[in-house]
Structure 1
Amino acid sequence: MLLPPLGLYVHIPWCVRKCPYCDFNSHTAAKELPESEYIDALLRDFANESSHLGERPISSLFIGGGTPSLFSAAALNTLLSGLQHHCRFSETIEITLEANPGTTEQGRFAAYRDIGINRLSIGVQSFDDLKLQLLGRIHSADQAQHAFYQARAAGFDRINLDLMFGLPGQSSSEAIADLDRAIALQPDHISWYQLTIEPNTEFYSRPPRLPEDDNLWAMQQQGQQRLADAGFVQYETSAYATAGQQSRHNLNYWRFGDFIGIGAGAHGKLSTRHGEILRNWKTRVPAQYLARTDTFSAGQRSLENTELPLEFMMNALRLRDGVERSLFSERTGLSLESIAKPLQQAIAMGLMEDNQRLQPTERGRLFLNDLLEIFLP
């Protein structure tokens, strides 16, 4: 089986405080972060993973969290340098850092740029100060705007803005006003998605009052049109980019590529030359992760052939244009004939296109969960 491109995800699990909607593996930081100790642990973790690399270079690297911008440029430079002792970065590697506007200061973006980070993802979420307070964010709308200007001044020409709609008490006009402020900054990429209430969050135990479905639909329709008019192409369920500015790291996920995950609670997916596809995950609690001296793994399993169609489609069908049909066999080792029956059913139901791609129709994008159920084992 031809091995797919390989990305690397680095998880930094600390935040200034935990947001009430967040279900990621994030933890409120102590006054002093164990910065150097955690970088050392990450490099030991990656050294253990390096045997799986073979000759493949790392094509993309995403540093997420938590709030990675709590870490200094010096610490992240140690990380990047150390990683390259065990692997080769591709010449065109995309290195993304997630940043919170409330944890950036004058000069920090320039330092990040100097060490080789070439893409930022800024967690704005809203440009309405009241909504930001309801979301538990530590920054203001003005700080978010200032962070963007700082990043541009530091030389970042690839910036994503994370923005949510369907916030507590939000009207359609307020959601579009948020989006207009984001568009006015002229970023290259906007991740615009609906707030959902997830288990194990504060919002789940004490649900806020969210907009009615009709209002949510209006927000989505108006917002998508606003983004299209501004030159942003929706290439994935909640991702919009100007020409050539799609997230390469996330595209690798959606095209069922491989990725190594290091850090507390990180997940990975690796294909072997023997045709296996492995899922693995790391120790979740930061203190336990830091205490590990040998393996950082909390588990690993091989995906069964019966699971692969759904695993593949859960990613590929998030893409507006889908993927080439040949990619299914390349990435799963299964023949297209093995999914002929569910594929024909999806086409007959008007959920997938009848062409040379595995591509959802507009109806399929609207009812994606129904479409994916067709590929259940």
Structure 2
Amino acid sequence: MIPVLSQRPGLSALPPLSLYVHFPWCVRKCPYCDFNSHEARNGFDETGYIDALLADLESALPLIWGRPVHTVFMGGGTPSLFSPEAIDRLLAGLRARLRLLPEAEITLEANPGTVEAAKFQGYRAAGVNRLSLGIQSFNPRHLKAIGRIHDDGEARRAAELAAETFDTFNLDLMFALPGQTLAEAIEDVETALSFAPTHLSCYHLTLEPNTYFSRYPPELPDDDLAAEMQEAIESRLARAGFDHYETSAYAKPGHRARHNLNYWAFGDYLGIGAGAHGKLSFHDRIVRQARYKQPAAYLKGVAAAQPSQTETVVSEAELPFEFMLNALRLTEGVPTELFTERTGLGIGTIARQIESAVAQGLLDADPRWLRPTPLGRRFLNRLMQVFLPDD
């Protein structure tokens, strides 16, 4: 059944809109990575890809016409393989075609080993106002174990450049790495803090399907040690003044990632670029799109004005789980009324599931909020499963 959103309370206005731009190339595919990334063995056509991104956007404009864009996120892959001139041309093209708000958060992902000072300065001059740097670890042994192309010196230099160039920047770290001890996990955090980042993302290394590590799994810390690492990281970052506002995200006051917050609050986002995903709300439906994953197929689709490989309407039965899958990642949860505002469904449609989650101690009993308890945050997958649609 297609939800008729305009006939339900709270849907008079559409959710905030973000733009995600995917850059599919990397120097080398990391063994743990399940993102849409492809090794740039023979290089790539930088100019041609920027042309395709802008053509992709133009074909999507009727879907978002007139809506302001609050955030832009350039992810990958490795966007920092692209020159500052290419990013400048892309952002100029976005401004010419979109209602990009003057205060919009514009994030670019970068990897150590693909950057230098002039590049960071060029990205900043082009309009990037937030950098997200894929450090993962400052330990040379662990960097080698997870297949990163940079060494610890390059990691430190990249973090130093980020601090010098951007007022707001994020450092990505991983923990529960092959052979990692508790002391080594905390040492990575201490090193990260020495560069005074405004945001840290601390991810538990997981063995995702269809990756090299899933086929040839390394020996990882056991669950108890991994849990100790997570608790120690949370405690250390709390003492450093970071707010643990999302499952893996920690921010200084005023520096939460607005783009990601829009995802977690079930906002809208248009995705352009090879393999990009999007979610768009209309008055009679919510649609998910996925662009062609292979760069060659994507470029061919753009040339034919058909960049999306799939476009599906989210069914009414799927909407509660889709909403909760995002909202319950937030430590504070979301106001209960947001469920109706963003899905068009009455809260009564999930009353039974809420009651069950509260009874299991996974969800806060406050009827004004949909908020995971500390137990719910620890066993988030179990909490999410409560809201899976019935077969």
**1:362 equivalent in structure 2:** 374
Aligned to 1:102, what secondary structure does the other structure show?
Answer: coil
**1:278 equivalent in structure 2:** 287
Counterparts of 1:105 and 1:369 in 2: how far apart (Å)? 40
Task: Write the letter of the residue equivalent to 2:290.
Answer: W
Counterparts of 2:327 and 2:348 in 1: how far apart (Å)? 18
Counterparts of 1:259 and 1:153 in 2: how far apart (Å)? 31
Deviates more, 1:96-105 or 1:286-295: 286-295
Q: Find 2:297's aligned residue among 284, 288, 303.
A: 288
Counterparts of 2:255 and 2:324 in 1: how far apart (Å)? 23
Scaled by the length of structure 2, what TM-score is found?
0.94
**2:214 equivalent in structure 1:** 204
- The size of the alignment, in residue pairs, is 375
Counterparts of 2:330 and 2:43 in 1: how far apart (Å)? 41
Deviation track 1:126-166 (CA, whole Å, cap 9, x = no partner) reads: 01011101111111122111112222322x11000000000
Higher relative contact order (CA 8 A, sep 6+): 2
Shift of 1:168: 0.4
Matches within 5 A, 1:146-295: 146-154=157-165, 156-274=166-284, 276-292=285-301, 293=303, 294-295=305-306
Matches within 5 A, 1:1-12: 1=11, 2-12=13-23
Counterparts of 1:353 and 1:199 in 2: how far apart (Å)? 33
Scaled by the length of structure 1, what TM-score is found?
0.98
Shift of 1:371: 1.0
* Residue 76 of structure 2 corresponds to residue 55 of structure 1: no
Deviates more, 1:37-46 or 1:212-221: 212-221
Counterparts of 1:67 and 1:373 in 2: how far apart (Å)? 33
* Residue 325 of structure 2 corresponds to residue 314 of structure 1: yes
* Residue 342 of structure 2 corresponds to residue 337 of structure 1: no
Give the % identical residues: 53
Aligned to 1:49, what secondary structure does the other structure show?
Answer: helix
Deviation track 1:72-108 (CA, whole Å, cap 9, x = no partner) reads: 0111111111122221101210000000011001311
What's the Cα RMSD here?
A: 0.9
Shift of 1:31: 4.0
Q: Is the 8 A contact 2:163 2:195 kept in 1?
A: no
Q: Is the 8 A contact 1:282 1:299 kept in 2?
A: yes
Deviates more, 1:319-328 or 1:363-372: 363-372
Counterparts of 1:340 and 1:106 in 2: how far apart (Å)? 54
Counterparts of 2:163 and 2:242 in 1: how far apart (Å)? 19
Aligned to 1:218, what secondary structure does the other structure show?
Answer: helix
Shift of 1:273: 2.1
Shift of 1:238: 0.3
Counterparts of 2:117 and 2:203 in 1: how far apart (Å)? 29
Shift of 1:214: 1.5
Task: Write the letter of the residue equivalent to 1:349.
Answer: Q
Gaps of 5+ in 2: 1-10
Gaps of 5+ in 1: none
Counterparts of 1:146 and 1:335 in 2: how far apart (Å)? 51
Q: Is the 8 A contact 1:351 1:371 kept in 2?
A: yes
